Structure 1
Amino acid sequence: MARTPSPASRIAVITGASSGIGAATARQLAAAGYRVVLTARRKDRIEALAEEITEAGHKATAYPLDVTDRTAVDEFAGAFKTIGVLVNNAGGALGADPVATGDPEDWRRMYETNVLGTLNLTQALLPKLEASGDGTVVIVSSTAGHATYEGGAGYVAAKHAEHVLAETLRLEIVGRPVRVIEIAPGMVKTEEFALTRFGGDQERAAKVYDGVAEPLSADDVADTITWTVTRPAHVNIDLLVVRPRAQASNTKVHREA
Protein backbone atom coordinates (compact mmCIF):
# COMPACT_ATOMS: atom_id res chain seq x y z
CA MET A 1 0.00 0.00 0.00
CA ALA A 2 1.42 3.36 -1.03
CA ARG A 3 2.05 5.84 1.75
CA THR A 4 1.67 9.60 1.90
CA PRO A 5 4.93 11.33 2.83
CA SER A 6 5.04 12.85 6.30
CA PRO A 7 5.64 16.62 6.53
CA ALA A 8 9.27 16.10 7.59
CA SER A 9 9.99 13.74 4.70
CA ARG A 10 8.03 15.54 2.00
CA ILE A 11 11.02 16.97 0.05
CA ALA A 12 12.59 14.84 -2.70
CA VAL A 13 15.86 15.87 -4.37
CA ILE A 14 16.45 14.42 -7.84
CA THR A 15 19.82 14.77 -9.58
CA GLY A 16 20.14 14.67 -13.34
CA ALA A 17 16.56 15.93 -13.58
CA SER A 18 16.93 17.80 -16.87
CA SER A 19 15.88 14.84 -19.03
CA GLY A 20 15.20 11.12 -19.20
CA ILE A 21 14.79 9.10 -16.01
CA GLY A 22 15.45 12.09 -13.76
CA ALA A 23 12.74 14.25 -15.33
CA ALA A 24 10.24 11.38 -15.37
CA THR A 25 10.99 10.62 -11.70
CA ALA A 26 10.45 14.26 -10.76
CA ARG A 27 7.02 14.23 -12.39
CA GLN A 28 5.98 10.99 -10.70
CA LEU A 29 7.26 11.85 -7.21
CA ALA A 30 5.54 15.24 -7.44
CA ALA A 31 2.29 13.48 -8.31
CA ALA A 32 2.85 11.18 -5.30
CA GLY A 33 2.85 14.17 -2.95
CA TYR A 34 6.50 15.21 -2.73
CA ARG A 35 7.87 18.70 -3.16
CA VAL A 36 10.53 17.95 -5.77
CA VAL A 37 13.85 19.76 -6.00
CA LEU A 38 15.26 19.41 -9.51
CA THR A 39 19.02 19.57 -9.94
CA ALA A 40 21.11 19.42 -13.11
CA ARG A 41 23.62 21.57 -14.93
CA ARG A 42 21.15 22.73 -17.59
CA LYS A 43 19.31 25.56 -15.86
CA ASP A 44 16.79 26.15 -18.65
CA ARG A 45 15.69 22.51 -18.72
CA ILE A 46 15.02 22.16 -15.01
CA GLU A 47 13.32 25.55 -14.78
CA ALA A 48 10.96 24.55 -17.59
CA LEU A 49 10.24 21.24 -15.86
CA ALA A 50 9.63 22.94 -12.52
CA GLU A 51 7.15 25.26 -14.22
CA GLU A 52 5.40 22.30 -15.87
CA ILE A 53 5.08 20.46 -12.55
CA THR A 54 3.84 23.58 -10.78
CA GLU A 55 1.22 24.22 -13.47
CA ALA A 56 0.00 20.64 -12.88
CA GLY A 57 -0.77 21.61 -9.28
CA HIS A 58 2.32 20.15 -7.60
CA LYS A 59 5.38 21.68 -5.94
CA ALA A 60 8.74 21.93 -7.69
CA THR A 61 11.92 23.98 -7.40
CA ALA A 62 14.82 24.14 -9.86
CA TYR A 63 18.40 24.38 -8.57
CA PRO A 64 21.25 24.34 -11.13
CA LEU A 65 23.98 22.07 -9.78
CA ASP A 66 27.05 20.16 -10.94
CA VAL A 67 27.19 17.07 -8.73
CA THR A 68 30.96 16.82 -9.17
CA ASP A 69 31.49 20.27 -7.57
CA ARG A 70 31.68 19.49 -3.85
CA THR A 71 31.67 23.13 -2.76
CA ALA A 72 28.47 23.76 -4.72
CA VAL A 73 26.92 20.55 -3.38
CA ASP A 74 27.64 21.56 0.23
CA GLU A 75 26.16 25.00 -0.39
CA PHE A 76 23.06 23.35 -1.87
CA ALA A 77 22.69 21.01 1.12
CA GLY A 78 22.86 23.97 3.50
CA ALA A 79 19.49 25.18 2.22
CA PHE A 80 17.65 22.28 3.90
CA LYS A 81 16.91 21.32 7.49
CA THR A 82 15.46 17.98 6.44
CA ILE A 83 14.68 16.12 3.25
CA GLY A 84 12.88 12.84 2.76
CA VAL A 85 14.25 11.41 -0.47
CA LEU A 86 17.48 11.70 -2.46
CA VAL A 87 17.43 10.18 -5.93
CA ASN A 88 21.00 9.90 -7.20
CA ASN A 89 20.30 9.70 -10.91
CA ALA A 90 22.98 11.92 -12.49
CA GLY A 91 25.44 9.89 -14.52
CA GLY A 92 25.82 8.43 -17.98
CA ALA A 93 28.10 6.54 -20.33
CA LEU A 94 30.83 7.78 -22.65
CA GLY A 95 32.25 5.67 -25.47
CA ALA A 96 32.20 1.96 -26.22
CA ASP A 97 35.87 1.27 -26.80
CA PRO A 98 37.72 -1.82 -25.58
CA VAL A 99 40.01 -1.55 -22.57
CA ALA A 100 43.08 -1.48 -24.83
CA THR A 101 42.04 1.74 -26.57
CA GLY A 102 39.55 3.39 -24.20
CA ASP A 103 40.00 7.09 -23.52
CA PRO A 104 41.16 7.60 -19.90
CA GLU A 105 39.44 11.01 -19.92
CA ASP A 106 36.08 9.31 -20.62
CA TRP A 107 36.74 6.88 -17.75
CA ARG A 108 37.56 9.76 -15.41
CA ARG A 109 34.46 11.74 -16.35
CA MET A 110 32.20 8.70 -15.92
CA TYR A 111 33.68 7.93 -12.51
CA GLU A 112 33.40 11.52 -11.34
CA THR A 113 29.76 11.89 -12.38
CA ASN A 114 28.39 8.44 -11.60
CA VAL A 115 30.37 7.64 -8.46
CA LEU A 116 31.79 10.81 -6.91
CA GLY A 117 28.65 12.75 -7.78
CA THR A 118 26.59 10.16 -5.92
CA LEU A 119 29.05 10.23 -3.04
CA ASN A 120 28.97 14.05 -2.85
CA LEU A 121 25.18 14.32 -2.67
CA THR A 122 24.80 11.36 -0.32
CA GLN A 123 27.41 12.65 2.14
CA ALA A 124 26.05 16.20 2.07
CA LEU A 125 22.39 15.23 2.49
CA LEU A 126 22.60 12.16 4.72
CA PRO A 127 22.25 14.22 7.95
CA LYS A 128 19.17 15.92 6.47
CA LEU A 129 17.67 12.57 5.51
CA GLU A 130 18.26 11.21 9.00
CA ALA A 131 16.80 14.34 10.59
CA SER A 132 13.51 13.67 8.79
CA GLY A 133 13.11 10.45 10.78
CA ASP A 134 12.13 8.67 7.58
CA GLY A 135 14.72 9.15 4.83
CA THR A 136 15.38 7.28 1.61
CA VAL A 137 18.51 7.25 -0.56
CA VAL A 138 17.90 5.94 -4.06
CA ILE A 139 20.90 5.12 -6.24
CA VAL A 140 20.10 4.60 -9.91
CA SER A 141 22.84 2.26 -11.03
CA SER A 142 22.48 -0.11 -13.99
CA THR A 143 22.59 -3.76 -14.91
CA ALA A 144 26.12 -2.75 -15.96
CA GLY A 145 26.84 -2.65 -12.23
CA HIS A 146 26.14 -6.36 -11.96
CA ALA A 147 27.59 -7.91 -15.13
CA THR A 148 30.25 -6.98 -17.66
CA TYR A 149 30.10 -6.66 -21.42
CA GLU A 150 32.66 -5.98 -24.13
CA GLY A 151 33.18 -2.35 -25.02
CA GLY A 152 31.72 -1.09 -21.78
CA ALA A 153 34.48 -1.44 -19.19
CA GLY A 154 34.64 2.21 -18.16
CA TYR A 155 30.89 2.52 -17.62
CA VAL A 156 30.68 -0.96 -16.10
CA ALA A 157 33.46 -0.08 -13.63
CA ALA A 158 31.69 3.11 -12.58
CA LYS A 159 28.35 1.37 -12.12
CA HIS A 160 29.95 -1.48 -10.16
CA ALA A 161 31.36 1.21 -7.86
CA GLU A 162 27.89 2.73 -7.42
CA HIS A 163 26.51 -0.70 -6.53
CA VAL A 164 29.22 -1.19 -3.91
CA LEU A 165 28.58 2.31 -2.54
CA ALA A 166 24.88 1.47 -2.05
CA GLU A 167 25.58 -1.93 -0.52
CA THR A 168 28.20 -0.60 1.89
CA LEU A 169 26.15 2.43 2.94
CA ARG A 170 23.25 0.15 3.80
CA LEU A 171 25.52 -1.86 6.10
CA GLU A 172 27.02 1.22 7.73
CA ILE A 173 23.76 3.01 8.59
CA VAL A 174 21.58 0.06 9.57
CA GLY A 175 19.51 1.00 12.62
CA ARG A 176 19.22 4.62 11.53
CA PRO A 177 15.98 5.91 9.95
CA VAL A 178 17.26 5.95 6.37
CA ARG A 179 16.67 3.33 3.68
CA VAL A 180 19.11 2.66 0.85
CA ILE A 181 17.55 1.51 -2.41
CA GLU A 182 19.37 0.58 -5.60
CA ILE A 183 17.51 0.55 -8.92
CA ALA A 184 19.43 -1.18 -11.72
CA PRO A 185 17.79 -0.61 -15.12
CA GLY A 186 18.71 -2.57 -18.22
CA MET A 187 18.02 -1.31 -21.74
CA VAL A 188 16.24 2.04 -21.44
CA LYS A 189 15.52 4.16 -24.51
CA THR A 190 15.71 7.85 -23.67
CA GLU A 191 16.33 10.83 -25.88
CA GLU A 192 19.94 11.32 -24.79
CA PHE A 193 21.65 8.30 -23.17
CA ALA A 194 22.94 6.49 -26.27
CA LEU A 195 23.39 9.73 -28.18
CA THR A 196 25.69 11.08 -25.46
CA ARG A 197 27.56 7.80 -25.29
CA PHE A 198 28.39 7.97 -28.99
CA GLY A 199 29.27 11.64 -29.09
CA GLY A 200 26.10 12.73 -30.90
CA ASP A 201 26.29 10.04 -33.60
CA GLN A 202 22.59 9.46 -34.33
CA GLU A 203 23.18 6.34 -36.43
CA ARG A 204 25.26 4.53 -33.78
CA ALA A 205 22.83 5.56 -31.06
CA ALA A 206 19.84 4.20 -33.02
CA LYS A 207 21.55 0.83 -33.57
CA VAL A 208 21.55 0.17 -29.81
CA TYR A 209 17.77 -0.34 -30.04
CA ASP A 210 17.53 -1.89 -33.52
CA GLY A 211 14.89 -4.59 -33.63
CA VAL A 212 13.95 -4.24 -29.95
CA ALA A 213 10.19 -3.77 -30.02
CA GLU A 214 9.81 -2.33 -26.54
CA PRO A 215 12.89 -1.22 -24.61
CA LEU A 216 12.17 0.35 -21.24
CA SER A 217 11.15 3.99 -21.19
CA ALA A 218 12.15 6.67 -18.70
CA ASP A 219 8.62 6.47 -17.31
CA ASP A 220 9.01 2.73 -16.69
CA VAL A 221 12.06 3.32 -14.53
CA ALA A 222 10.51 6.33 -12.79
CA ASP A 223 7.48 4.20 -11.94
CA THR A 224 9.81 1.65 -10.36
CA ILE A 225 11.63 4.31 -8.35
CA THR A 226 8.36 5.85 -7.16
CA TRP A 227 7.00 2.45 -6.13
CA THR A 228 10.05 1.69 -3.98
CA VAL A 229 10.04 5.14 -2.36
CA THR A 230 6.35 4.95 -1.49
CA ARG A 231 6.52 1.59 0.31
CA PRO A 232 5.90 1.71 4.08
CA ALA A 233 8.89 3.11 5.96
CA HIS A 234 9.96 -0.28 7.37
CA VAL A 235 10.14 -1.82 3.86
CA ASN A 236 13.51 -1.48 2.11
CA ILE A 237 13.78 -2.64 -1.50
CA ASP A 238 17.53 -3.25 -1.36
CA LEU A 239 18.03 -3.93 -5.07
CA LEU A 240 15.59 -3.96 -7.94
CA VAL A 241 16.81 -5.01 -11.40
CA VAL A 242 14.42 -3.99 -14.18
CA ARG A 243 14.80 -4.95 -17.83
CA PRO A 244 12.53 -5.04 -20.86
CA ARG A 245 11.13 -8.48 -21.63
CA ALA A 246 13.30 -8.63 -24.75
CA GLN A 247 16.52 -8.42 -22.72
CA ALA A 248 17.62 -11.53 -20.88
CA SER A 249 21.04 -10.17 -19.93
CA ASN A 250 23.46 -7.40 -20.85
CA THR A 251 24.63 -9.48 -23.81
CA LYS A 252 21.47 -11.36 -24.87
CA VAL A 253 18.71 -9.29 -26.44
CA HIS A 254 15.92 -10.47 -28.71
CA ARG A 255 15.85 -8.40 -31.88
CA GLU A 256 13.13 -8.78 -34.47
CA ALA A 257 14.14 -8.96 -38.12
Structure 2
Amino acid sequence: MPGTEPTHSPTPAARGRVAVVTGASSGIGAATARRLAAEGFDVVVGARRVDRLESLAASIGARALPLDVTDDASVTAFAGALDRVDVLVNNAGGAFDAAPVAEADLDSWARSYEVNVLGSVRLTKALLPALRASGAGDVLFVSSTAALISYEGGASYTAAKHGVHTLAETLRLELNGEPVRVMEIAPGMVRTEEFSLNRLGSQEKADAVYRGVREPLVADDIADCIAWAVTRPHHVNIDLLVVRPLAQAAQHKVAREG
Protein backbone atom coordinates (compact mmCIF):
# COMPACT_ATOMS: atom_id res chain seq x y z
CA MET A 1 0.00 0.00 0.00
CA PRO A 2 1.21 3.55 -0.70
CA GLY A 3 2.77 5.24 2.30
CA THR A 4 3.52 2.04 4.19
CA GLU A 5 7.05 1.02 5.00
CA PRO A 6 8.23 -1.65 2.53
CA THR A 7 9.65 -4.88 3.83
CA HIS A 8 12.93 -5.78 2.14
CA SER A 9 16.02 -7.60 3.22
CA PRO A 10 19.11 -5.37 3.37
CA THR A 11 21.15 -5.37 0.16
CA PRO A 12 24.89 -6.11 0.53
CA ALA A 13 25.62 -3.29 -1.96
CA ALA A 14 24.03 -0.80 0.44
CA ARG A 15 25.99 -1.74 3.55
CA GLY A 16 27.90 1.22 5.00
CA ARG A 17 26.79 3.58 2.23
CA VAL A 18 25.21 6.97 2.95
CA ALA A 19 22.27 8.01 0.79
CA VAL A 20 20.97 11.59 0.72
CA VAL A 21 17.38 12.15 -0.39
CA THR A 22 16.07 15.66 -1.05
CA GLY A 23 12.42 16.66 -0.98
CA ALA A 24 11.89 13.84 1.47
CA SER A 25 9.02 15.24 3.52
CA SER A 26 6.36 13.64 1.29
CA GLY A 27 5.63 11.72 -1.90
CA ILE A 28 8.41 10.08 -3.88
CA GLY A 29 11.11 11.50 -1.60
CA ALA A 30 9.61 10.03 1.56
CA ALA A 31 8.97 6.69 -0.14
CA THR A 32 12.54 6.61 -1.43
CA ALA A 33 13.95 7.32 2.02
CA ARG A 34 11.91 4.46 3.49
CA ARG A 35 12.99 2.06 0.77
CA LEU A 36 16.68 2.93 0.90
CA ALA A 37 16.67 2.57 4.68
CA ALA A 38 15.06 -0.86 4.29
CA GLU A 39 17.76 -1.75 1.77
CA GLY A 40 20.41 -1.02 4.40
CA PHE A 41 21.61 2.47 3.46
CA ASP A 42 22.39 5.06 6.11
CA VAL A 43 19.83 7.61 4.98
CA VAL A 44 19.97 11.39 5.36
CA VAL A 45 16.75 13.20 4.49
CA GLY A 46 16.45 16.87 3.65
CA ALA A 47 13.45 19.17 3.14
CA ARG A 48 11.98 22.46 4.33
CA ARG A 49 9.18 20.94 6.45
CA VAL A 50 11.33 19.83 9.35
CA ASP A 51 8.48 18.50 11.48
CA ARG A 52 7.42 16.01 8.82
CA LEU A 53 11.04 15.23 8.07
CA GLU A 54 11.88 14.41 11.67
CA SER A 55 8.82 12.19 11.99
CA LEU A 56 9.88 10.22 8.91
CA ALA A 57 13.48 9.98 10.09
CA ALA A 58 12.43 8.68 13.49
CA SER A 59 10.28 5.97 11.89
CA ILE A 60 13.05 4.60 9.64
CA GLY A 61 16.21 5.32 11.60
CA ALA A 62 17.39 8.11 9.30
CA ARG A 63 19.01 11.47 9.96
CA ALA A 64 16.96 14.59 9.27
CA LEU A 65 18.51 17.91 8.24
CA PRO A 66 16.67 21.07 7.19
CA LEU A 67 17.17 21.87 3.52
CA ASP A 68 15.89 24.50 1.12
CA VAL A 69 17.42 23.72 -2.27
CA THR A 70 16.66 27.27 -3.46
CA ASP A 71 18.84 28.84 -0.75
CA ASP A 72 22.63 28.86 -1.03
CA ALA A 73 23.20 29.16 2.72
CA SER A 74 20.85 26.26 3.45
CA VAL A 75 22.61 24.04 0.92
CA THR A 76 26.04 24.99 2.29
CA ALA A 77 24.96 24.18 5.85
CA PHE A 78 23.42 20.89 4.74
CA ALA A 79 26.56 19.81 2.89
CA GLY A 80 28.76 20.89 5.79
CA ALA A 81 26.90 18.62 8.17
CA LEU A 82 27.76 15.51 6.14
CA ASP A 83 30.98 13.56 6.60
CA ARG A 84 30.29 11.05 3.85
CA VAL A 85 27.97 10.79 0.84
CA ASP A 86 27.75 7.80 -1.49
CA VAL A 87 24.36 8.41 -3.10
CA LEU A 88 22.54 11.65 -3.88
CA VAL A 89 18.90 11.41 -4.93
CA ASN A 90 17.95 14.79 -6.39
CA ASN A 91 14.21 14.49 -5.87
CA ALA A 92 13.17 17.97 -4.69
CA GLY A 93 10.98 19.60 -7.33
CA GLY A 94 7.43 20.16 -8.41
CA ALA A 95 4.97 21.77 -10.81
CA PHE A 96 3.23 24.99 -9.85
CA ASP A 97 0.77 25.81 -12.64
CA ALA A 98 -0.96 24.47 -15.73
CA ALA A 99 -1.26 27.73 -17.66
CA PRO A 100 -0.69 28.08 -21.41
CA VAL A 101 2.31 30.12 -22.53
CA ALA A 102 0.05 33.01 -23.57
CA GLU A 103 -1.05 33.32 -19.94
CA ALA A 104 2.30 32.50 -18.36
CA ASP A 105 2.90 33.52 -14.76
CA LEU A 106 6.61 34.30 -14.84
CA ASP A 107 6.90 33.98 -11.07
CA SER A 108 5.64 30.41 -11.40
CA TRP A 109 8.14 29.76 -14.20
CA ALA A 110 10.98 31.14 -12.10
CA ARG A 111 9.94 29.04 -9.11
CA SER A 112 9.76 25.90 -11.24
CA TYR A 113 13.24 26.47 -12.65
CA GLU A 114 14.71 27.45 -9.29
CA VAL A 115 13.43 24.35 -7.51
CA ASN A 116 13.77 21.70 -10.21
CA VAL A 117 16.92 22.78 -12.02
CA LEU A 118 18.99 25.15 -9.90
CA GLY A 119 18.16 23.23 -6.74
CA SER A 120 19.58 20.08 -8.30
CA VAL A 121 22.64 21.98 -9.49
CA ARG A 122 23.26 23.42 -6.00
CA LEU A 123 23.08 20.05 -4.26
CA THR A 124 25.11 18.24 -6.87
CA LYS A 125 27.83 20.89 -6.85
CA ALA A 126 27.97 20.92 -3.04
CA LEU A 127 28.12 17.14 -2.63
CA LEU A 128 30.21 16.17 -5.64
CA PRO A 129 33.52 16.28 -3.72
CA ALA A 130 32.13 13.74 -1.22
CA LEU A 131 30.65 11.60 -3.99
CA ARG A 132 34.03 11.52 -5.74
CA ALA A 133 35.79 10.72 -2.47
CA SER A 134 33.51 7.75 -1.86
CA GLY A 135 35.13 5.95 -4.77
CA ALA A 136 31.73 4.70 -5.95
CA GLY A 137 29.35 7.64 -5.95
CA ASP A 138 25.86 7.89 -7.43
CA VAL A 139 23.97 10.99 -8.51
CA LEU A 140 20.36 10.18 -9.38
CA PHE A 141 17.96 12.76 -10.79
CA VAL A 142 14.20 12.27 -10.50
CA SER A 143 12.90 13.99 -13.61
CA SER A 144 9.66 13.16 -15.41
CA THR A 145 8.32 12.03 -18.76
CA ALA A 146 7.79 15.81 -19.06
CA ALA A 147 11.58 15.96 -19.44
CA LEU A 148 11.25 14.14 -22.75
CA ILE A 149 8.02 15.42 -24.33
CA SER A 150 6.00 18.65 -24.16
CA TYR A 151 2.26 19.06 -23.74
CA GLU A 152 -0.29 21.85 -23.65
CA GLY A 153 -0.52 23.68 -20.35
CA GLY A 154 2.71 22.21 -19.10
CA ALA A 155 5.36 24.58 -20.41
CA SER A 156 6.74 25.86 -17.10
CA TYR A 157 7.13 22.30 -15.84
CA THR A 158 8.27 20.67 -19.08
CA ALA A 159 10.86 23.40 -19.62
CA ALA A 160 12.26 22.83 -16.12
CA LYS A 161 12.27 19.04 -16.39
CA HIS A 162 13.90 19.23 -19.82
CA GLY A 163 16.56 21.22 -17.96
CA VAL A 164 16.98 18.43 -15.41
CA HIS A 165 17.30 15.88 -18.22
CA THR A 166 20.05 17.79 -20.00
CA LEU A 167 21.74 18.48 -16.66
CA ALA A 168 22.01 14.73 -16.10
CA GLU A 169 23.27 14.11 -19.63
CA THR A 170 25.89 16.85 -19.38
CA LEU A 171 27.13 15.78 -15.96
CA ARG A 172 27.50 12.21 -17.17
CA LEU A 173 29.74 13.41 -19.99
CA GLU A 174 31.78 15.61 -17.67
CA LEU A 175 32.34 12.84 -15.12
CA ASN A 176 33.23 10.17 -17.64
CA GLY A 177 36.23 8.24 -16.34
CA GLU A 178 35.52 9.17 -12.72
CA PRO A 179 33.97 6.80 -10.14
CA VAL A 180 30.58 8.56 -10.09
CA ARG A 181 27.49 7.26 -11.87
CA VAL A 182 24.86 9.68 -13.15
CA MET A 183 21.35 8.25 -13.44
CA GLU A 184 17.89 9.57 -14.27
CA ILE A 185 14.46 8.17 -13.43
CA ALA A 186 11.64 9.71 -15.49
CA PRO A 187 8.22 8.86 -14.01
CA GLY A 188 4.96 9.27 -15.86
CA MET A 189 1.64 9.50 -14.03
CA VAL A 190 2.29 9.05 -10.30
CA ARG A 191 -0.50 9.65 -7.81
CA THR A 192 0.88 11.29 -4.66
CA GLU A 193 -0.83 13.33 -2.00
CA GLU A 194 0.59 16.69 -3.07
CA PHE A 195 1.94 16.92 -6.64
CA SER A 196 -1.27 17.68 -8.56
CA LEU A 197 -2.76 19.53 -5.59
CA ASN A 198 0.18 21.95 -5.53
CA ARG A 199 -0.02 22.37 -9.28
CA LEU A 200 -3.77 22.84 -9.69
CA GLY A 201 -4.73 24.41 -6.38
CA SER A 202 -7.74 22.31 -5.40
CA GLN A 203 -8.37 18.71 -4.39
CA GLU A 204 -11.21 18.44 -6.91
CA LYS A 205 -8.93 19.36 -9.81
CA ALA A 206 -6.17 17.13 -8.49
CA ASP A 207 -8.52 14.14 -8.24
CA ALA A 208 -9.72 14.72 -11.81
CA VAL A 209 -6.20 14.08 -13.13
CA TYR A 210 -6.41 10.44 -12.03
CA ARG A 211 -10.17 9.86 -12.41
CA GLY A 212 -10.92 6.61 -14.19
CA VAL A 213 -7.25 5.65 -14.44
CA ARG A 214 -6.78 2.08 -13.37
CA GLU A 215 -3.79 1.82 -11.04
CA PRO A 216 -1.73 4.94 -11.62
CA LEU A 217 1.77 4.63 -10.25
CA VAL A 218 2.34 5.47 -6.60
CA ALA A 219 5.41 6.80 -4.83
CA ASP A 220 6.56 3.34 -3.75
CA ASP A 221 6.76 2.27 -7.41
CA ILE A 222 9.29 5.00 -8.14
CA ALA A 223 11.17 4.31 -4.91
CA ASP A 224 11.48 0.71 -6.07
CA CYS A 225 13.05 1.86 -9.36
CA ILE A 226 15.46 4.17 -7.55
CA ALA A 227 16.53 1.45 -5.12
CA TRP A 228 17.09 -0.96 -8.00
CA ALA A 229 19.20 1.56 -9.93
CA VAL A 230 21.52 2.46 -7.05
CA THR A 231 22.06 -1.15 -5.99
CA ARG A 232 23.30 -2.40 -9.38
CA PRO A 233 27.00 -3.31 -9.55
CA HIS A 234 28.82 -0.02 -9.87
CA HIS A 235 29.99 -0.65 -13.43
CA VAL A 236 26.30 -0.72 -14.47
CA ASN A 237 24.91 2.78 -15.13
CA ILE A 238 21.18 3.24 -15.59
CA ASP A 239 21.40 6.31 -17.81
CA LEU A 240 17.65 6.81 -18.16
CA LEU A 241 14.70 4.78 -16.92
CA VAL A 242 11.24 5.84 -18.12
CA VAL A 243 8.43 4.35 -16.05
CA ARG A 244 4.70 4.78 -16.62
CA PRO A 245 1.58 3.00 -15.43
CA LEU A 246 0.17 0.46 -17.87
CA ALA A 247 -2.81 2.77 -18.44
CA GLN A 248 -0.55 5.54 -19.77
CA ALA A 249 0.82 4.65 -23.20
CA ALA A 250 2.05 8.21 -23.78
CA GLN A 251 1.72 11.66 -22.27
CA HIS A 252 -1.49 12.26 -24.22
CA LYS A 253 -2.77 8.66 -24.31
CA VAL A 254 -4.30 7.50 -21.02
CA ALA A 255 -6.93 4.78 -20.69
CA ARG A 256 -9.77 5.84 -18.40
CA GLU A 257 -12.60 3.60 -17.27
CA GLY A 258 -16.16 4.84 -17.23
Distance 1:248 1:132 in 2: 39
Map of 1:39 onto structure 2? 46
Confirm or deny that 1:150 pairs with 2:147.
no
Distance 1:237 1:248 in 2: 22
1:216-256 CA-to-partner distances (Å, cap 9, x unmatched) read 00000000000000000110000000000000111110111
Distance 2:59 2:19 in 1: 17
Map of 1:57 onto structure 2? none
Map of 1:21 onto structure 2? 28
Deviation, structure 1 residue 5: 2.7
Q: Which amino acid aligns with 2:37?
A: A
1:181-238 CA-to-partner distances (Å, cap 9, x unmatched) read 0000000000000000012x11111110011011000000000000000000110000
- 1:210-221 alignment to 2 at 5 Å? 210-221=211-222
Distance 2:188 2:14 in 1: 29
- Could you tell which deviates more after superposition, 103-112 or 72-81? 72-81
Map of 2:241 onto structure 1? 240
- 1:130-209 alignment to 2 at 5 Å? 130-199=132-201, 201-209=202-210
Deviation, structure 1 residue 72: 1.6
* Number of equivalences: 248
Map of 1:254 onto structure 2? 255
2:56 alignment partner, one of 46, 49, 54 = 49
User: Matched residue of 1:227: which SS?
Assistant: helix
Give unpaired runs (5+ residues) of structure 1: 55-59
Runs of 4+ in structure 1 off by over 4 angstroms are: none
Map of 2:5 onto structure 1? none
* TM-score normalized by the length of structure 1: 0.95
Distance 1:4 1:166 in 2: 23
1:141-185 CA-to-partner distances (Å, cap 9, x unmatched) read 000000000000000000000000000000000110100000000
Distance 1:149 1:103 in 2: 17
Identity of aligned residues (%): 65
Q: Which amino acid aligns with 1:152?
A: G
Distance 1:71 1:173 in 2: 26
